[in-house]
Chain A
Amino acid sequence: MSFDVQMPTSEEGLVSLLSKESSHILAGGTDLLVKIRLKRVIPKTIVSLRHLKGLDRIEDLGDKMRVGCRVTISELLNSEIISRHARILQMALRQIGSPQIRNRATLAGNIINASPAGDSIVAMVLSNASLSIGSANGERYERVVDFIRGPGVTTLSRGEFVKSITFEKTDVLFPQFHKVGQRNSMAISVASVGSLTSESEIRLAFGSVAPTVVVPIDACEYYSAEIDSFDEERFVELAMKCVTPIDDVRATAWYRTTVVRNLIHRTLKVWRKKGYNAV
């Protein structure tokens, strides 16, 4: 490792440092330090958010919530307003890493990492999250689904940083997050299915079964359109259209396909059994 570390206190200072070549932003460092060690990232400058003023709050904006880029996973798990209005996010965040990782890692970092397996991304897609992205030219806004372009690829360009994440409150919808991994803690998903359900609406998102977290739009539309003549097999068939997994070190494509199909059935079963009373 050979790089210098900068710790700007203002956003102006931050964006001017980020415009330099090979500068990398450090929030929790739980991914970046591993990548540096594996020489997948070779930085000249690390720009730490440690002394940055602000962007460390969880705010209630009425029907939405905003989370600053410095807010850690542990802070979100301990937050009362997140417990009340974004249970799906907490369910997903509980699946991330270990206490040590959750104490450092940030929600913004997990999104920017753009992993197809990103647990928080599933919850954020379900909650129609968008990002506020700052740069020397001001601020732009982008939905998380549009921001992530592929595995590890986002629309973030040099000199830009994610300031905050804004997402809908989803109190009225029944949340579920099902994940299959290899170990209880620290497990990267083999496949995950997140959902938010009511009698007239279902939102579904899958992790680890395509190059990005995916939403089976056809299945979600079918659910709303065919409330009276709902056919579970038809629904699952439509949902599986966006499932295009790969073989990798964690699982084969065949296994992922089988797992995700079972998790979709489980999602409907849990909703039918507990849904109406639990909401």
Chain B
Amino acid sequence: MKISFTLNNERFSIDVIEDMRLLDFLRDELGLTGTKEGCGEGECGACTVIIDGKAVNSCLVLLPEIDGSEVTTIEGLSKDGELDTIQKAFVDQGAVQCGFCTPGMIMSAKALLDKNDSPSDEEIMEAIEGNLCRCTGYYKIVQAIKAAAENLRNTNGK
């Protein structure tokens, strides 16, 4: 089946294996291993990517379903070797321990901050409620997302 989509700002128009999950396509076909597989059933959020502005579990998306969509993975965030604001905030705030949940966590945070750069604590918690972290206890992750929001507001001149 031939499908067209945009991935990390690059246009693709390719023949794909129909019964493949988006997650496997990213990791195995394109070598984009930043997107992790945790549970494989939508519980843990490690495989979170953004499709058309919305955070989704790439383990629950069949590849043909991205036809006509715009997909962003963790690899699409940094520019010219520079981490983006949210990635920097995670590093600065010590929000990364083992790191396995981090890409998914950052993608959920990005989906939130792209729509709302002044989220309340509650909105942050809700945005990451589908992402499990077994190391940090979430506190520093929430701090990092708040710091990123502040940096974004400063950059946007608010």
- Residues of A near any B CB (own CB < 8 A): 1-5, 7, 26, 28-30, 33-34, 37, 46, 48, 50-51, 74, 97-101, 103-104, 184-186
Q: How many A-B residue pairs have CB under 8 A?
A: 88
Residues of A within 8 A of B62 (CB): 5, 26, 29, 33, 46, 48
Cβ-defined contact, A103 with B54, below 8 A = yes
B interface, how many residues as a size bin?
A: 20 to 34
11 contacts between A and B (CB under 8 A): A3-B18, A5-B64, A7-B67, A26-B62, A26-B65, A30-B60, A33-B59, A50-B64, A100-B48, A101-B60, A184-B129
Tell me the B61-103 residues at the A interface (CB within 8 Å).
Answer: 61-62, 64-65, 67-68
Cβ-defined contact, B61 with A1, below 8 A = no
B121 near A: Cβ within 8 Å? no
Convert B126-140 into 0s and 1s, putting 1 for each residue whose CB lies closer than 8 angstroms to a CB of A: 110111000000000
- Residues of B near any A CB (own CB < 8 A): 1, 18-21, 40-43, 45, 48, 54-57, 59-62, 64-65, 67-68, 108, 111, 126-127, 129-131
Cβ-defined contact, B21 with A5, below 8 A = no
Within the assembled complex, what's the spacing in Å between the Cα atoms of A26 and B131?
Answer: 24
Identify the closest chain A residue to B41 (Cβ).
A34
Identify the closest chain B residue to A51 (Cβ).
B67
Within the assembled complex, what's the spacing in Å between the Cα atoms of A5 and B67?
Answer: 12
Which has the most chain B C-beta neighbours within 10 Å: A28, A51, A186?
Answer: A186
Per DSSP, chain A at the interface is loop
Residues of B within 8 A of A46 (CB): 18-19, 62
* Min CB gap B67→A, angstroms: 7
Which of B21, B56, B64, B129 lies in contact with A104, CB distance below 8 A?
Answer: B56
* 7 nearest A-B residue pairs (beta carbon): A98-B130, A185-B129, A5-B18, A103-B54, A1-B19, A34-B41, A100-B130
Cβ-defined contact, A186 with B43, below 8 A = yes
Within the assembled complex, what's the spacing in Å between the Cα atoms of A98 and B129?
Answer: 6
Residues of B within 8 A of A104 (CB): 56-57, 60-61
Within the assembled complex, what's the spacing in Å between the Cα atoms of A4 and B60?
Answer: 16
Residues of A within 8 A of B67 (CB): 7, 50-51
Residues of A within 8 A of B1 (CB): 5
Which of B19, B57, B68, B127 lies in contact with A2, CB distance below 8 A?
Answer: B19
Cβ-defined contact, B130 with A97, below 8 A = yes
If A7-B64, A99-B129, A101-B130 touch, whether A37 touches B41 (CB-CB below 8 Å) is yes
* Min CB gap A24→B, angstroms: 11
Within the assembled complex, what's the spacing in Å between the Cα atoms of A5 and B45?
Answer: 25
Cβ-defined contact, A33 with B60, below 8 A = yes
Which has the most chain B C-beta neighbours within 10 Å: A48, A97, A98?
Answer: A98
Cβ-defined contact, B19 with A185, below 8 A = no
Identify the closest chain A residue to B63 (Cβ).
A5
Which of B41, B64, B68, B108 lies in contact with A99, CB distance below 8 A?
Answer: B108
Residues of A within 8 A of B55 (CB): 99-100, 103
Within the assembled complex, what's the spacing in Å between the Cα atoms of A34 and B127?
Answer: 22
Residues of B within 8 A of A30 (CB): 42, 57, 60
* Min CB gap A108→B, angstroms: 17
Within the assembled complex, what's the spacing in Å between the Cα atoms of A185 and B45?
Answer: 11
Q: A37-B41, A99-B126 are in contact. List 11 more A-B contacts (CB 8 A).
A: A4-B19, A29-B60, A48-B64, A48-B65, A98-B45, A98-B130, A99-B127, A99-B130, A100-B55, A104-B56, A186-B130
